[in-house]
Structure formats: C-alpha cells, structure tokens
Chain A
Amino acid sequence: QGRDLIPVLSTGEAAPRFLCSKSNSFSIFQDQAEQFFRSGHTNNWAVLVCTSRFWFNYRHVANTLSVYRSVKRLGIPDSHIVLMLADDMACNPRNPKPATVFSHKNMELNVYGDDVEVDYRSYEVTVENFLRVLTGRIPPSTPRSKRLLSDDRSNILIYMTGHGGNGFLKFQDSEEITNVELADAFEQMWQKRRYNELLFIIDTCQGASMYERFYSPNIMALASSQVGEDSLSHQPDLAIGVHLMDRYTFYVLEFLEEIHPASQTNMNDLFQVCPKSLCVSTPGHRTDLFQRDPQNVLITDFFGSVRKVEITTETVSLDSDLAGFESNLPKDELATEPLKYAEQLPVAQIIHQKPKQKDWHPPGGFILGLWALIIMVFFKTYGIKHMKHIF
C-alpha cells in the first residue's frame, strides 16, 4: 500500500500514510494532522488597490499589477481577487508601449499580461467602494466579480498603494481614507466573520501610520516606510518617461518571484525584504494582533491559494439503499383556465377615442357680465341711435 503514493500537496513533502495506525505511527499521524491544520484557512482572497490616477503615478499601477501577477501565479484565481486600479496606464495615450505596464526598466517584465481582470476601474475606485467591498455592504446589483465573498475561513491579502500621509491615504486626488476608518472596517469584517486572517501591506509615504490603529485580532501588517519617512520610487525608464515601480514593492516582487506554490518560506523572510540600504525608508511591520508566530506563517498562506488535498487509496463505497426517500413533488397542476397577458395598454380604447368632453365651462355670470360690458362700450362709443340700424 505504500508503493505509489502521491505526495500530499498541503505539506509539500511526500509522506506515507497509513490508515490503520499503530502506536508508533500515531505520533507521525498526529504531526501530519497538526501540520494539516496548521493554518485555519480554507480559501484565499486578495484585495489589491491602486489609488492614484494620472500618468505620472504609473508606478502605483505597476506596483499593484506586480502583486496581482504574483498572487495569480501562486494560485489565487481571478474570482477571488478584487483588483482596483484608479487609472488605465496600459491604454493611456501617453504610454509609448500601449497595452503594457512594465515593472523593470529595459522592459523586462510586463506585468499587464493578457489576462488581467480589473474589477474596479477609474472613477469607481473610491473610498466608499473600497469600504463597501471590505465590509460586504454592497448593493444587490453588484456583480460577483466586484464582491469580496469571504467567510470566516478566508485568508485575505490587502495591498494598497498610492500617495499617503500620516494617518491617511489619498484616493484619486479628491478624498482620503484615514487609518481609523480602515481599522473600523477591519473590525466590521471581524465581527461579521469575514476573515480568518488578514495580511495588510501598504506602500505609501508614512505607510506605518495606516496600521497603527488596528485593533481587530488576526491582522498582520507591513508598510514600506515609517511615520515621517517618504517611500521612494525605484528607477525611471527613459523610454517610457516615468518611474516604473516603488522600491519596496520592487523588492517584494523580486522576493515573490522566487516563491512557488510549494515553498515553505515564512513571514519573517518577508519582513527582511528591502532593508534600509536598498529602500532608503525603513519598512515596518506589526504582528501583535496576530495569533500565530510569524515563523509559522507561510508566504503562500496569504499570497497563494493553496488547496489542501488529501490523497487516499482507500475506496469508499456508497450506500445504494435509498429506501425511505420518496419524492414529495407535487403532481403537475393542470391548467384550469387558459392563461393570457394582462391588458396593459387599452389599445382599442385609444384608437376609437371620442373627442374629449370639456368639463369646464365658464360661469354664466361671467359671460353675462363680459358681454354686457362689451355692449355698453359699443353703444357708448357709437351712440344709441345705431341700434336702429342693427335691428
């Protein structure tokens, strides 16, 4: 039975499994079971937000798209990604290479790709829409692709980038979201059981201020710079004419390029990405609200959508005895009378309309008075003697 076992994907290593366990394999079994249930999530979601528009903020769109690309590559499907881009760089008239968004200079990596699905685009990226996505308070007409349909076993990755300040993040040059609002939104999510664990990454100036106010459990946060520091951009590309990426996300992308769905890299490695020498700003992180040790948290717990699959060689036979289960479907109701459409527009009445009766008539006193006056004026002007000529 132990011959051709397929490696169990959850742990990434081949492990023999025995159903009938003896005492010495019981502990192995326990370890595996422990490993199996190491993280409590069953599905992964990602909410990736770029909040700036205009051509010179190309790098923010490139940031978001790089994270999108990594997350998709590691297994989260488009149906579980809510991608919000505030402007269209790929088809911007100022883009010398249309339909592309590059993250490295010399155009090494086109993060736009062929299968990008942007859920919230252009002016739809507003603070209100973002908070509605997070809390789930969305109008019933919203399509599924625009909803965050997470449950209490979902691990959610939230990535935000744009221009920010101490305690706020600017959306589209016209409004801001504050760290208090964000913290309250996360608390709402916690109370509505909308996440199991949340990883919040922000790449803006003074980004650490955005996670200062979080108070809900199971949140881990990373930021590209501390309060009072600016988060800097990486390199400009002279052919395209703008800065292509921000430093922090650039190094995160480089880091993520080495992750594959089976890797065991944990969060502590992510915290080390982009030291001050490379990033010029000091990245920060916050793990006090998180219940597990970051050592034990895999990168793929948030960035990938790893399915836990158990392979078994046992056969299970289903019981074919379906006695006692009778259908209680009602018999077809025969139509008792022929059905027809309700009369909505009485065409026949309109076609054969009789001229409308006028319901209002001037009061008799008025007519009398008016004509009396007219006759008086007439006779005053022309004299009574003309009456002879009339009659």
Chain B
Amino acid sequence: TESTSPDSNAFVFCVSVVEGLALLDLGVSPYSGAIFHETPLIIYLFHFLIEYAEFVFMITDVLTAVALYLAIQDFNKVVFKKQKFLIELDKYAPDVAELIQTPMEMHYIPLKVALFYLLNPYTVMSCVAKSTCAINNTVIAFFILATIKGSAFLSAVFLALATYQSLYPLTLFAPALLYLLQREFIPIKLKSKSFWLYTMQYTALYLCSLVVIICLSFFLLNSWDFIPSVYGFILSVPDLTPNIGLFWYFFAEMFEHFSLFFICVFQINVFFYTIPLAIKLKEHPVFFMFVQIAVISIFKSYPTVGDIALYMAFLPVWSHLYRFLRNIFILSCVLVVCSLLFPVLWHLWIYAGSANSNFYYAITLAFNIGQILLISDYFYAFLRREYYLTHGLHLTRQDGTEAMLVLK
C-alpha cells in the first residue's frame, strides 16, 4: 500500500505529477486542480523522464548517498584539523585523551553515512513510493557538500534551489553561513566589518539565485500560479490528509476562527529554533545543520519518511557521542515500534474500520516525540562532550564530590 499509505504523502509523485502533466496536455494549468503542488522545475524534469520514474528516483538516492559520502569525508578532515589545532593550543583539559577522535575510527564514517542513507528502510519506502522528497534530499545533500567544500556560490545556489522546492531549508541559511565564516576564518563578532561583508555577499548570492529561479519558473508556464499553489500550500496547510506530521489532526478539528492563529504558531515552530541554536552552536555549524534538518523534518507541514532518512543518515558522524547518550535504547525502541505500528493502525482505521484517527495520531505523536527526544539527546551528548573536552572528564563540585552535567 505504498502509494496509498500516508507516510509519503502530499508530495507523493504517482498521483500528483502524473495528474499535473495530464492537465498540461489538456491545455490547463496544472495548479488549477488541488492535487498538484510541485514546482515548475519538477514539471520540466518529469516531462521528459516520466516513463523512467523508477530509475530517476534510484539515481537521486544514489546521488544523495554519494554527495553525503564526499561531504562527510571532507568534514572529517576539517574536524581532525581543528582538533589538532586545539590540542596544540592546549585548549583541552589533560585527562580527555579518550574523548579525542582518532583517524582510525573516523575512517569508515563516510561509508557508514552513505550506507545509513541507502539502506535505511525509510529511504527504500520513499523510493518505492516515488515521493519527490527524494529530490529534495538530493538538493539538500548537494547543498551540504557545497558548503563543506567551501564554495559559497554553489552553496547559495543549492540552498536557493532547496528553498524553492520546499520552503523550510531557508533555516539552513544560518548554519551554512556560520560554516563558511568559520572556514574563511572570519570571527563572528557583530562589530567586525569582514563579517558583515561576507554575510552580505552570501545573502545577496542566495537571494539573487532564488529570484532567478523563481522568475525562470514563471517562464515555464507564463503565470505566477505556482506561488500560491506551492508556497501557499506549504504555509497554509489546506490538505489535511493524515500523514506522519503533527498538523493534520489539529486542523481537522479546529474551528476556522482560530485556524489562522494556530497555523502561525505551528509554522513558527520550525523557524523558531534557528536563532537560539545559532547562538549556542556557533562553533559547531555542521551539528547545527544536522539539528536544523531534524527540526525541519519533524515540524514541517507535510513530513515524509524521506525527510527522516536524511537526518538519520548523519547519525554515524556523531557516533563518538554514544557514551553520553542517555535514552538511546528507549528511543530506538519507540521509533522502531511506531514505524511498525503506522501501517497497522492505518489499516485498522481505514480498511478494517475498527480504529479511528485517534489511534493513528497517537502513534504519530509518539513517533514525533521519539524523534524530538532523539535530537535533544544528541544535543545534550554533544554539548556534554564539548564541556568535558574543555573542563576535563572528572568534574568536581566546590565541595569535592563528583558533579553531573545537566542540560538546562
């Protein structure tokens, strides 16, 4: 029931793109119906490739894996260099030898990342369901690759493309900017002129490419229809088909009087964490990017399992945090059990008629809580490791007893 299961949903390929192309053949704008919500570039892409749709999605998945592989390879080099630099500067406490990452253990991480992405059951499901989320993942993966390689121009172009596809990668602007600043050795001080210059350059590149892409899309169909249909659709959530996200249940029951308010509240949730995370994680922009991607895939209006596959692919990069993770067993059980229960309860609700939407939404909630706890667990572990690196492994309180780090 891949094509009917809600896990890869409103942007599902099979129904909507075929419908859009059929409408075009009939001479009608594809956005006039309520099903098609893809961007014009997707129309252009699939206009020629629709017969080979399976191959297209397999190739995009492979491309994503390759891009992640190369990105993480470069990232490891950067991490290692930085670590060496900090050791030489004596920034680390004396007894943290066991926390330092060695090249031996970091050697296989890129391969693990690529395999995590390719062999993830979520990726496989998303590919089989031919969800355009795979294309989003590819674009974001290329953006990450471009950022880590240090090319501001390509990074801005890919970020503009990712934002153009689905609105939320806008929040990835901050970590990308932080990473590039770090790479150029520009200190992040608000008074520094070079900081503002670089930021302006990057912003200009990003906005210009976004504008160019949007204008180009205008020329595909000679109309601005796609803007309300794509971005209006993402922002105002009119389609309440059940999916693994948090939006549909609320808005199915809400009075129209309040729906605007709650849409704003829900959408702010995605963008809201950027600034605090930027302040806290300004030294570690790639981890920031990981957390941001996870936040997007949890809180976006129409999440799919493909989004989850993308950030889960990054988990091997932080495998050295394993000893600091507190709830990893429960969380993995929650995630596995919930993913198994999704199709069961969907079947019970829709086909057998003996459950109702509450069951399905309960599992959705549990799943999302599992994801959120996973992210916050990794966040805690990361910060704790950083703290230990600078302050030593055996922390003592003022009176000499052993202390415990708590995330406030």
* Chain A contact residues, CB within 8 Å of chain B: 356, 358-363, 365-367, 369-370, 373, 377, 380-381
Nearest to A372 among chain B residues (CB) is B216
Verify if B47 is at the interface (C-beta below 8 Å from A). yes
Q: Are A360 and B219 in contact (CB under 8 A)?
A: no
Q: Are B25 and A366 in contact (CB under 8 A)?
A: no
Contacts A373-B212, A377-B154: A362 and B220 contacting too (C-beta < 8 A)? yes
Question: Which residue from A360, A361, A363, A377 sits with its C-beta under 8 Å from B222?
Answer: A363
Give bound CA distance, A273 to B21, whole Å: 80
A-side contacts of B21, CB under 8 Å = 358, 360
Question: Which residue from B44, B151, B153 sits with its C-beta under 8 Å from A370?
Answer: B44
* Chain B contact residues, CB within 8 Å of chain A: 21, 24-27, 41, 43-44, 47, 151, 153-154, 157, 212, 216, 219-220, 222
Give bound CA distance, A338 to B47, whole Å: 49
Give bound CA distance, A277 to B219, whole Å: 94
How many whole Å from A365's CB to the nearest CB in chain B?
Answer: 5
Q: Are A370 and B216 in contact (CB under 8 A)?
A: yes
Give bound CA distance, A380 to B219, whole Å: 24
Give bound CA distance, A359 to B26, whole Å: 7
Give bound CA distance, A380 to B26, whole Å: 40
B-side contacts of A359, CB under 8 Å = 24-27
B-side contacts of A360, CB under 8 Å = 21, 24-25, 27, 47
Q: Are A358 and B25 in contact (CB under 8 A)?
A: yes
Q: Are A362 and B47 in contact (CB under 8 A)?
A: yes
Q: Provide a sorted-by-A list of 19 A–B residue pairs whose CB atoms are within 8 angstroms.
A: A358-B47, A359-B24, A360-B24, A362-B43, A362-B44, A362-B47, A362-B220, A363-B220, A363-B222, A366-B44, A366-B219, A366-B220, A367-B44, A369-B216, A370-B44, A373-B216, A377-B154, A377-B157, A381-B151
Nearest to B51 among chain A residues (CB) is A355
B-side contacts of A377, CB under 8 Å = 153-154, 157
Give bound CA distance, A380 to B146, whole Å: 13
Query: For the complex, would chain A's binding face be called helix, strand, loop or mixed by DSSP majority?
Result: helix
B-side contacts of A363, CB under 8 Å = 219-220, 222
A-side contacts of B154, CB under 8 Å = 377, 381
How many whole Å from A229's CB to the nearest CB in chain B?
Answer: 47
How many whole Å from B39's CB to the nearest CB in chain A?
Answer: 13
CB-based closest 5 A-B pairs:
A360-B24, A359-B25, A366-B219, A366-B220, A360-B25
Q: Are B219 and A369 in contact (CB under 8 A)?
A: yes
Give bound CA distance, A377 to B212, whole Å: 12
Query: For the complex, would chain B's binding face be called helix, strand, loop or mixed by DSSP majority?
Result: helix
B-side contacts of A380, CB under 8 Å = 153
How many whole Å from B45's CB to the nearest CB in chain A?
Answer: 10
Give bound CA distance, A352 to B220, whole Å: 34
Contacts A358-B25, A359-B25, A360-B25: A365 and B151 contacting too (C-beta < 8 A)? no
B-side contacts of A369, CB under 8 Å = 216, 219
B-side contacts of A373, CB under 8 Å = 212, 216
B-side contacts of A358, CB under 8 Å = 21, 25, 47
Give bound CA distance, A171 to B44, whole Å: 63
Nearest to A358 among chain B residues (CB) is B25
Give bound CA distance, A363 to B217, whole Å: 11
A-side contacts of B25, CB under 8 Å = 356, 358-360
How many whole Å from B215's CB to the nearest CB in chain A?
Answer: 9
Give bound CA distance, A367 to B43, whole Å: 12
Give bound CA distance, A360 to B220, whole Å: 11
Give bound CA distance, A373 to B219, whole Å: 14
Give bound CA distance, A377 to B213, whole Å: 13
How many whole Å from A356's CB to the nearest CB in chain B?
Answer: 7
A-side contacts of B41, CB under 8 Å = 370
B-side contacts of A367, CB under 8 Å = 44
Give bound CA distance, A362 to B157, whole Å: 23
Nearest to B30 among chain A residues (CB) is A360
Q: Are A381 and B153 in contact (CB under 8 A)?
A: yes
A-side contacts of B47, CB under 8 Å = 358, 360-362
A-side contacts of B43, CB under 8 Å = 362
Question: Which residue from A356, A361, A365, A381 sits with its C-beta under 8 Å from B219?
Answer: A365
Give bound CA distance, A359 to B43, whole Å: 14
How many whole Å from A371's CB to the nearest CB in chain B?
Answer: 11
Given A366-B44, A366-B216, A377-B157, 12 more pairs with CB closer than 8 A: A358-B25, A358-B47, A359-B24, A360-B24, A360-B25, A362-B44, A362-B47, A365-B219, A369-B219, A370-B41, A370-B44, A373-B212
Nearest to A368 among chain B residues (CB) is B219
Give bound CA distance, A359 to B22, whole Å: 9
Give bound CA distance, A228 to B216, whole Å: 82
Nearest to B212 among chain A residues (CB) is A373
Give bound CA distance, A82 to B76, whole Å: 88
B-side contacts of A362, CB under 8 Å = 43-44, 47, 220
Give bound CA distance, A250 to B47, whole Å: 81
How many whole Å from B195's CB to the nearest CB in chain A?
Answer: 24
B-side contacts of A361, CB under 8 Å = 47
Give bound CA distance, A320 to B220, whole Å: 90
Nearest to A365 among chain B residues (CB) is B219
B-side contacts of A370, CB under 8 Å = 41, 44, 216
A-side contacts of B151, CB under 8 Å = 381
Give bound CA distance, A356 to B51, whole Å: 12
Give bound CA distance, A360 to B43, whole Å: 11
A-side contacts of B27, CB under 8 Å = 359-360
Give bound CA distance, A380 to B151, whole Å: 10
How many whole Å from B204's CB to the nearest CB in chain A?
Answer: 15
Give bound CA distance, A361 to B24, whole Å: 9
Nearest to A355 among chain B residues (CB) is B51
Give bound CA distance, A358 to B222, whole Å: 19
